[in-house]
Structure 1
Amino acid sequence: MRKGERFKELFDLKGRVAVVTGAAKGNGAGIANALYDAGAQVMATDVAFSDEGDSGSQSLYPEIPRMVMDVTSEESVGEVFATIVKEQGRLDILCNNAGVIYKAPVDELEMEQFRKVTEINLHGVVNCTKHAVPYMRKNSWGRIVNISSSQAFLATETYSAYSASKAAVSHLTRIWGNELAAENILVNALCPCFVKTPMMTQSIAKKAQELGGSLEMGEKYFTDLIPTHRLLEIEEIGNWVTLLCGEMGRAMTGSNISITCGQVTL
């Protein structure tokens, strides 16, 4: 008799409280949905959950609570996390997903844009992790998943701001993995290649325009950069986050996991 139930338990997150940043759409919404499907109590956070800018959040399950949080503000992060713990009694899982991209050659960089990328992609991860760890420490259990990128390990022209911020996140993952391992707070990073997010859709359209061709031609430009010739689905990112936060992820910390369809081998 096959014991299929034991595999369900490997991904069971019932009783866990999870926070996902940048959860209004794209990868963040997919991650929040996956954690919710695994049984976690999920709090979706994003600056977009304001009166002016809730666009795209229809991809997030309506059952998942939304909270406005600015990852670049220690005050905002501290207040939101304190509210979550007051209402839910704990904070077990943090997925640092919030991020932006900006591309330009070095001699054309707008430093304000460069700083914005660093503030959100890097300082935001530090802010959230700093404020989450004390709550995790109280229960001697925590799972932190940082969303890095294949670009952390590539030298792609014009990606300097984005790649530098993601490379820093990948190395912080190694450091924090060592730093927190003895307290059963495990820290890992996912490093995906191109994912079918709204941001990727814009990039495809822009590339198609540059090439003077169709959207299919624009997409082919990007898939040709990947050995398996495909883009990742949003759901795949959420599946990997859920794996790392469940029983399957117990043996992993300080790791950068390449989910790049062969683009990057670590």
Structure 2
Amino acid sequence: MPLLGHHAFITGGSRGIGLACARALLADGARVTIAGRDAASLERAAAQLSPGVATCVLDVTDEAAVQAAVAAAARQLGPITILLNNAGQALPAPFAKTSSRHWQQMLDVNLTGAFHCTQAVLPQMLDQGWGRIINIASTAGLKGYKYVSAYVAAKHGLVGLTKALALELASKNITVNAVCPGYTETDIVQDAIANIMRTTGRTQEQARAELAAGNPQQKLVQVEEVANAVAWLCQPAASAMTGQSIAVAGGEVM
């Protein structure tokens, strides 16, 4: 159990990639706090996990709430040494119809939320002399996608933040990496499928096939595949891995 004694704080932890990562880190011995905006979803997720999992209702765009949540989590389960910035949102719109409000929302949720959480947790990692910060970006942080320009810009920003912070912390025994899934079986992808069906008249299977077509393996990525990459990066044996953006995408990005 390589993560025994460590405390992982996971945003967007009630479903999808966040929930799969919580399960993987628990299996490696970590204590886990899952955070999200919906209390009922968090409770359902906690019921699927270890009885010792803590939950935290949190909007990552609220800086004061993040500071308070991180402090409370540390009091409950000990200092946080693993941070998974997984909370995210993707809303489609052609660039010409992307309002400033839409633009700011994508930046707030996908980029500024990670900034708030990292600033709140970092002092605990520095005190402990050990840390793992993992940002769930996207292949959208490594390439472009049409009709989601605000989301793509935010995820590119998250990859940039990963690189800059990795350099700052390289001598502090704290690693910072990004995991960049391709289209994955999550609520975000279900929303994308529904949008394709609504705007094009395609069936659900046709919409799924359209998303999977960009993956050379011709499939959607599974959340457990993303969680496996995250769990490996958290292990002490991955101490030389920092500043990396790892695509979990079936060869879509090389």
Q: TM-score category by the smaller chain? A: over 0.9
| Among 23, 44, 51, the residue aligned to 2:13 | 23
Q: Which moved more, 1:61-70 or 1:137-146?
A: 61-70
Q: Contact 1:211/1:218 (CA < 8 Å) preserved in 2?
A: no
Equivalents in 1 of 2:24, 2:90: separation in Å?
A: 24
* Per-residue deviation, residues 158-177 of structure 1 (Å, max 9, x unmatched): 11110000000001101111
Answer with 1 or 2: which has the greater Rg. Answer: 1
| Among 173, 176, 196, the residue aligned to 2:165 | 176
| Among 103, 106, 113, the residue aligned to 2:102 | 113
| Compared CA separation, residues 79 and 99, structure 1 to 2 (3 A) | same
Q: Is 1:238 matched up with 2:220?
A: no
Runs of 4+ in 1 over 6 A off after TM superposition: none
2:189 is aligned to 200
Equivalents in 1 of 2:82, 2:196: separation in Å?
A: 37
Letter of the aligned partner of 1:20 in structure 2? Answer: I
Letter of the aligned partner of 2:129 in structure 1? Answer: S
Q: Is 1:41 matched up with 2:31?
A: yes
1:131 is displaced (CA, Å) by 1.1
Q: Contact 2:89/2:110 (CA < 8 Å) preserved in 1?
A: yes
Equivalents in 2 of 1:55, 1:40: separation in Å?
A: 21
Secondary structure class of the residue paired with 1:103: coil
Letter of the aligned partner of 2:8 in structure 1? Answer: A
Q: Please list every run of 5 or more consecutive structure 1 residues that lacks an aligned counterpart in the other structure.
A: 1-8
1:198 is displaced (CA, Å) by 2.0
Q: Contact 2:135/2:162 (CA < 8 Å) preserved in 1?
A: yes
Secondary structure class of the residue paired with 1:183: coil
Aligned pairs, how many?
A: 251
Q: Contact 1:193/1:259 (CA < 8 Å) preserved in 2?
A: yes
1:231 is displaced (CA, Å) by 0.8
2:212 is aligned to 223
Q: Contact 1:208/1:214 (CA < 8 Å) preserved in 2?
A: yes
CA RMSD for the aligned pairs? 1.6
1:136 is displaced (CA, Å) by 0.4
| Compared CA separation, residues 226 and 57, structure 1 to 2 (3 A) | farther
| Compared CA separation, residues 25 and 57, structure 1 to 2 (3 A) | farther
1:254 is aligned to 243
Equivalents in 2 of 1:131, 1:56: separation in Å?
A: 21
Letter of the aligned partner of 1:18 in structure 2? Answer: A
1:26 is displaced (CA, Å) by 1.3
% same residue = 32
**Superposition map of 1:2-17 within 5 A:** 12-17=2-7
Secondary structure class of the residue paired with 2:61: coil
* Per-residue deviation, residues 111-132 of structure 1 (Å, max 9, x unmatched): 2121111111111010111111
Secondary structure class of the residue paired with 1:121: helix
Q: Contact 2:60/2:113 (CA < 8 Å) preserved in 1?
A: yes
Equivalents in 1 of 2:218, 2:192: separation in Å?
A: 17
1:6 is aligned to none
Secondary structure class of the residue paired with 1:182: coil
Q: Is 1:58 matched up with 2:44?
A: yes
1:88 is displaced (CA, Å) by 2.5
1:104 is aligned to 93
| Among 57, 62, 71, the residue aligned to 1:73 | 62
* Per-residue deviation, residues 145-195 of structure 1 (Å, max 9, x unmatched): 000110112222111110000000001101111100111011000011000
TM-score (norm 2): 0.93
Q: Contact 2:43/2:55 (CA < 8 Å) preserved in 1?
A: no
| Among 139, 145, 149, the residue aligned to 1:150 | 139
